[in-house]
Amino acid sequence: MNIQQLEYIVAVDNHRHFVQAAEHCNVTQPTLSMMIRKLEEELSIKIFDRTKQPIVPTSIGREIIDQAKTILREASRMNEIAKHFNGDLSGELRIGIIPTIAPYLLPHFVNPFIANYPDIKLHVSEMITERIISELKLGNLDVGIIASLSEESSLQEIPMYKERFYAYVSENTDLYAKQYILPTDIEPNELWLLEEGHCFRTQIQRLCELSRNSQFGSSFSYRSGSIETLIRMVERNGGITILPEMAVMELSEERKKHIRHFQYPEPAREVCLVVNREQMKTRLIEALKTGIMAYLPSEIFEKNTELRLL
């Protein structure tokens, strides 16, 4: 039995396919299959039921795979202990980030981070919060950047910063004439929302006290995966959408004329790093947080009033 065999069975469990698992491990499929069969022979059990598609673990195989994950985590921890002792900041950091944060946060810190930490290789993927949590649990991500607090006891949240919500309103709405608005001023059938699955959509529903059954529009319904698309829909079709603070910072002066503040206490979200409590890359994640916080716009920290976190 060796570490490589344990990595192979975990890969097959994650991908549920021998060829895909072999590609992930950078070995040929016959090599991976042979090594797994040798492990099964050594343990005198079958780890996978190969008669099913996709491949699934047997009941005893499930226990073996869970134990393999524990062993692999502890083996990785040995490397992290040595790196910490040697003051080494190097390795890969696999990051999941939600789409309503990615286009506004990444440009601020990625290049300075790479310059300051040349031996840390970042792998960044956009995905919704639910998938980030799932990938963290599977060990496919090291850290997530999210904006809604999870209730997963296996995950640890590291708060970073808060950003306000603003209304982006059409000239054709009554809200355009107001300087400050209340959530109750928003008419549901005039509100453009992100599609289901985005935590930002859930926060807006909570802000405006909307239920899943609320009717949005009488003859046309549109749910986007892009904040920029929602802005364009307001500009060309009327209505209102809600924007996070860093998205507002990116707007042109002409577009900022459509921005309206919410009345006190202003609604906001808290952006966090989220990690598996059993992760081994503590120093790399600390470096990531330091890198993000150092290059955020100064306005993001100028919060002199109480905020209502959603």
Check: CB of residue 186 under 8 Å from CB of residue 307: no
Residue 220, pLDDT score: 47
Nearby residues of 106 by Cβ (< 8 Å), 6 or more positions away? 97, 124
Residue 214, pLDDT score: 52
Distances (CA, A) of 143 to 170, 241, 276: 38, 30, 8
Q: 133-160 pLDDT, tens per residue?
A: 999 988 889 999 998 765 666 789 999 9
Residue 222, pLDDT score: 59
Per-position DSSP letters for 123-173, written without gaps between them = EEEE--HHHHHHHHHHTS-SEEEESS----TTEEEEEEEEEEEEEEE-TTS
Q: Say which amino acid occupies 54.
A: P
Tell me what percent of the residues of the chain surpass a pLDDT of 70.
93
Q: 176-207 pLDDT, tens per residue?
A: 999 899 988 988 888 888 887 788 888 888 88
Map residue 274 onto helix, strand or coil: strand
- Among candidates 38, 47, 39, which has minimal Cα distance to 12? 47
Return mean pLDDT, the chain: 88
Read off the pTM: 0.75
